[in-house]
């Protein structure tokens, strides 16, 4: 009897301990799950904070964020993809299309295209009207930069204007890059000497920026080369997408840098090399258009000058007029405020022709490129 009691209490003891073990294990598992959940939440929070940070560095004007083609009614991911493939990245580009053009270019049905265009018209930022007086106020802020050649300055009504895009086009060796270098140096001059006392962003697509040449031109106008080079911010663009990203970078950097001149030398070389053939023409023009629009925006916001260079395409079959034509066609032409056509002349002289200007007569100026830079 006593033996049975002992066995019973033994059994009870083990059962109790076993149950305690199971309970502890259970509590332990629950605690572990809780810790795991907390760790996961923390990791997620850190990741989202990082994402926010990254987003913050990409989105430059968060408050200016606009609707995109993905927000159009009736446009799902597949249609958005088709639109993008056809080069329609922007609502405004869609808003100005006709249904059959859009249907053809983006390979969509005409009814769908028509609906998309309607939506884009409602959502696109078409822009507004301002009074003529307001515009006159803004025009009063326009400053003019000397080129170093009195004849060239006179052709441009006193120099290269801010709030404008100036396109300089011409064949190789006609002096486009030299003008870019000279304007970069002159931008640093004080206003009494025809400068802007500002800084420069230089997007170099052909690897033709030469600091030595800048130093030479700086000394010739009595500036310290190292001060000048310090205020010229140069980036080499490796392809057209990179070139466009660099404009975003300028947007960010110009919050702390007093930008007065932006140079893109050359504007078109990457676009021309990457978008080859008739089929790519629409996409190329749309991208160039967007690129120029962003540059124009910068010139307006900072009261700065934008200088873009463009090569000419040989058109030997032309019977009348000049046998050359600027790359980028009418898009670049219309987006630029002034267009200067350069050609080489006898004795190392250059002839600049003002081709397109909103308020100046067409005309020509002769200048030379000397060791000191641009001169009459
Ligand atoms: P591409 O970029 O090839 O289309 O030509 P571009 O229009 O940019 O020509 P660029 O401005 O590079 O002009 C080159 C010409 O400028 C040369 O052929 C020289 O005549 C002149 N040049 C360049 N550097 C000097 C220099 O240090 N001294 C002098 N005297 N002339 C220079
Ligand atoms: Mg050049």
- When pLDDT is averaged across residues 65-87 and rounded to a whole number, the result is 87
Q: Closest ligand to 264 CA? A: 2
- Measured in angstroms, how far is the CA atom of residue 58 from the centroid of ligand 2? 31
Is residue 109's pLDDT more than 60?
yes
CA distance 219 to 228: 10
Q: Which pLDDT belongs to residue 138? A: 85
- Measured in angstroms, how far is the CA atom of residue 205 from the centroid of ligand 1? 16
Mutation test of ligand 1: which of 147, 167, 177 has the most ligand atoms closer than 8 Å to its C-beta? 177
- When pLDDT is averaged across residues 103-115 and rounded to a whole number, the result is 91
Q: Which pLDDT belongs to residue 330? A: 61
- When pLDDT is averaged across residues 321-348 and rounded to a whole number, the result is 75
The number of residues making up the chain comes to 376
Produce one character per residue of 91-103: b if its CB has 16 or more CB atoms within 10 Å, e if not. bbbbbebebeebb
Nearest Cα residue to 156 out of 374, 361, 371: 361
Confidence of residue 25 (pLDDT cuts 50, 70, 90): confident
Higher pLDDT, 300 or 23: 300
Q: Which pLDDT belongs to residue 67? A: 82
Supply the residue whose CA is at minimum distance from atom 10 of ligand 1: 175
Cβ proximity of 223 and 232 under 8 Å: no
Q: Which pLDDT belongs to residue 136? A: 87
67-123: CATH architecture: Orthogonal Bundle (1.10)
For residues 145, 182, 169 and 239, what is the CA-based torsion angle, rounded to 10 degrees?
A: -110
DSSP 3-state assignment of 370? strand
- pLDDT, one tens digit per residue, over 157-184 is 999 999 999 999 999 999 999 999 999 9
Atom from ligand 1 closest to the CA of residue 175: 11
Higher pLDDT, 234 or 289: 234
**Protein residues with C-beta less than 5 angstroms from the ion ligand 2:** 176-177, 208
Which stretch, 25-29, 87-91, 272-276, has highest mean pLDDT? 272-276
pTM above 0.75, yes or no: no
Supply the residue whose CA is at minimum distance from atom 2 of ligand 1: 172
Higher pLDDT, 301 or 214: 214
Atom from ligand 1 closest to the CA of residue 178: 11
Cβ proximity of 279 and 323 under 8 Å: no
Can you point out the beta strands (E) in the chain? 144-145, 160-161, 164-170, 199-204, 232-236, 259-265, 305-314, 324-326, 338-344, 349-356, 363-370, 373-375
In the chain, DSSP finds a helix count (H) and a strand count (E) of: 14, 12
Is residue 5's pLDDT more than 90?
no
Ligand 1 close to Cβ of residue 369 (< 6 A): yes
Which of 59-73, 80-94, 106-120, 170-184 is predicted least confidently?
A: 59-73
Confidence of residue 2 (pLDDT cuts 50, 70, 90): low
Ligand 1 close to Cβ of residue 268 (< 6 A): no
142-375: CATH architecture: 3-Layer(aba) Sandwich (3.40)
- Measured in angstroms, how far is the CA atom of residue 305 from the centroid of ligand 2? 19
Ligand 1 close to Cβ of residue 350 (< 6 A): no
- When pLDDT is averaged across residues 23-36 and rounded to a whole number, the result is 68
Supply the residue whose CA is at minimum distance from atom 1 of ligand 1: 172
- Measured in angstroms, how far is the CA atom of residue 306 from the centroid of ligand 1? 20
Distances (CA, A) of 352 to 34, 150, 232: 76, 12, 25
CA distance 376 to 303: 28
Averaged confidence pLDDT in the chain:
84
- Measured in angstroms, how far is the CA atom of residue 81 from the centroid of ligand 1? 44
Nearest Cα residue to 89 out of 337, 247, 293: 293
Q: Closest ligand to 176 CA? A: 1
Ligand 1 close to Cβ of residue 310 (< 6 A): no
Is residue 250's pLDDT more than 60?
yes
Ligand 1 close to Cβ of residue 129 (< 6 A): no
Ligand 1 close to Cβ of residue 269 (< 6 A): no
Domain boundaries, the chain: 2-49, 67-123, 142-375
Higher pLDDT, 71 or 61: 71
Confidence of residue 23 (pLDDT cuts 50, 70, 90): confident
């Amino acid at each position: 009897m006593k033996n049975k009691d002992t066995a019973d209490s033994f059994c009870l003891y083990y059962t109790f301990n076993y149950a305690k073990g199971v309970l502890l294990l259970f509590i332990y598992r629950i605690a572990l799950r809780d810790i795991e959940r907390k760790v996961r939440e923390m990791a997620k929070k850190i990741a989202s904070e990082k994402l926010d940070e990254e987003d913050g560095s990409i989105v430059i004007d968060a408050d200016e964020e606009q609707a995109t083609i993905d927000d159009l009614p009736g446009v799902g991911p597949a249609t958005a993809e088709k639109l993008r493939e056809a080069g329609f990245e922007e609502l405004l580009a869609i808003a100005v299309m006709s249904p059959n053009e859009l249907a053809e270019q983006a390979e969509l049905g005409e009814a769908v295209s028509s609906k998309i265009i309607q939506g884009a018209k409602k959502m696109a930022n078409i822009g507004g009207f301002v009074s003529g007086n307001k515009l006159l106020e803004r025009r009063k802020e326009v400053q003019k930069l000397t080129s170093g050649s009195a004849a060239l300055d006179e052709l441009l009504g006193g120099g290269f204007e801010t709030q404008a895009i100036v396109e300089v086009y011409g064949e190789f060796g006609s002096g486009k890059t030299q003008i870019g270098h000279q304007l970069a140096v002159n931008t640093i001059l004080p206003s009494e000497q025809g400068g802007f006392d500002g800084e420069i962003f230089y997007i170099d697509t052909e690897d033709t920026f030469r600091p030595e040449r800048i130093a030479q031109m700086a000394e010739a106008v009595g500036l310290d080369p190292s001060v000048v080079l310090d205020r010229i911010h140069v980036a080499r663009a490796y392809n057209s997408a990179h070139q466009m990203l660099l404009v975003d970078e300028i947007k960010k950097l110009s919050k702390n840098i007093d930008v007065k001149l932006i140079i893109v030398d050359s504007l078109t070389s990457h676009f021309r090399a990457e978008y080859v053939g008739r089929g790519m023409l629409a996409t190329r023009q749309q991208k160039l258009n967007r690129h120029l629009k962003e540059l124009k925006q910068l010139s307006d916001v900072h009261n700065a000058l934008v200088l873009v260079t463009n090569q000419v395409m040989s058109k030997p079959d032309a019977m009348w007029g000049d046998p050359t034509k600027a790359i980028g066609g009418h898009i670049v032409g219309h987006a630029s405020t002034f267009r200067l056509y350069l050609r080489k002349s006898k004795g190392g002289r250059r002839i600049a022709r003002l081709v397109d200007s909103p308020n100046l007569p067409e005309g020509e100026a002769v200048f030379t490129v000397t060791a000191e830079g641009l001169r009459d």
